[in-house]
Amino acid sequence: MKLKKSLILTFIICSIGLITWESYWRSQGKIADLDDNKDLWALQRAKVENLSKNGVLLMGSSRVLFDFQLNEWQTETGIRPIQLASAGASPLPIFHDIVNNTGFKGTVLVGVTPGLFFSTTYPEAGPWKRAQRRVDYFENRTYAQRINHYLSMPLQNNLALVSTSEEGWADDIDLKSLLNNFNSGTRTGKPQLPPFNAFSYIDQDRNNPMREKTATDTIFANSIKAVWKFIIMGNKNPPEKEATTNFFVADAKKFMKRGGNLILVRCPSSGWIKQGEDKFLSRIDFWDPLVKATNAKAYYFEDYDKFKNLECPEWSHLSAEDARFFTTELVKIMKADGVLSNSKTN
């Protein structure tokens, strides 16, 4: 009897604690949100195995994640793309995986963010390693890891207090992230990354709109800009234009030879980041030779009046509203060009 009462009391205390902690974080503006981790990516990668020629894959870095909205693409074409883009990563390892480890010959859209696309082919470099880790995890994940992810989904979808991420955002509230983001000042002797808060939400199929706060709160957007400046100014590695271009072109030709439809897209950027890209990674020196070498269909945002004046709230990604517009209008353009099917049937 005493044991039963103890269990009931323990349950009540734990429930009160859980409700209180959840309510507190909800009052602070936190919501239940999924972690865009390697498990979530692997679930989308697994879908490629059963795709027909009508299938569409999106890959690139974070601009493809933010700027292409899956609902709008599906509305225009009747086909829901599979989102395989990976933030802060080169698209080359993921495209290489699709070309060489699958027989897929549908449509692949590759976003070309110059600083990441042309960054490196060195396996241990950050942009390459971030993407390759996801490919390797998909190939090697165990059944226990798959089950663990499936069991975590209801919690992630319903409890703000378990919201966390592989990125370790400054506003993550799990203990690991709090410790990782502890600012030790100058004691390490190394410059400290400015607070980097999450600025998007991601769905189970990796549809990824920007948080409204990023587009409406100038102070918050400026905090993201500070991070971009810190990362870009701290990068002393020059782009590897020849190596990255040659690597990608070899896979592009192999993909198109088997009947694949390859599309290259340069998504919008603005402000300080665009100025740097125009100066150090110019269209004439990087984009144009890539397009010529692949002979792929290519779309550069500044070629279209409706896109060239789009402003990115934090210089590098479109707001949710502008991303919906960009997706809808670019898909219409691609359909008119015959690059995408006008059919709304799978």
Q: How many CA atoms within 13 Å lie on the side-chain side of 301?
A: 25
Enumerate the domain spans of the chain.
32-336
Helix 38-47 vs helix 143-158: angle between axes, to the nearest 10 degrees? 110
Query: CA distances (Å), 12 to each of 6, 8, 219, in order?
Result: 10, 6, 41
Q: What is the pLDDT of residues 217-249, one digit of tens each?
A: 999 999 999 999 999 988 888 999 999 999 999
Lowest mean pLDDT among 131-140, 161-170, 253-262: 161-170
Q: Which of 297, 300, 307, 302 is nearest to 329 (CA)?
A: 307
The one-letter code for the residue type at 239 is P
Radius of gyration (Cα) for the chain, nearest Å?
22
Lowest mean pLDDT of 115-124, 172-181, 212-221, 263-272, name the range.
172-181
Alpha carbon distance 126, 282 (integer Å): 22
Mean residue pLDDT across the chain: 86
Least confident stretch, 29-38, 181-190, 219-228, 245-254: 181-190
Is 50 exceeded by the pLDDT of residue 157?
Answer: yes
Given pLDDT bands bounded at 50, 70 and 90, which one contains residue 62?
Answer: very high
Contact by Cβ (8 Å): 243, 314: no
Of residues 32 and 154, more confidence is placed in: 154
Supply 105's token pair: 């010959």
Of 129-138, 162-171, 264-273, the least confident: 162-171
What per-residue confidence (pLDDT) applies to 19? Answer: 66
Q: What backbone torsions phi and psi does residue 133 show, to the nearest 5 degrees?
A: -60, -35
pLDDT-based confidence at residue 346 (cuts at 50, 70, 90): very low
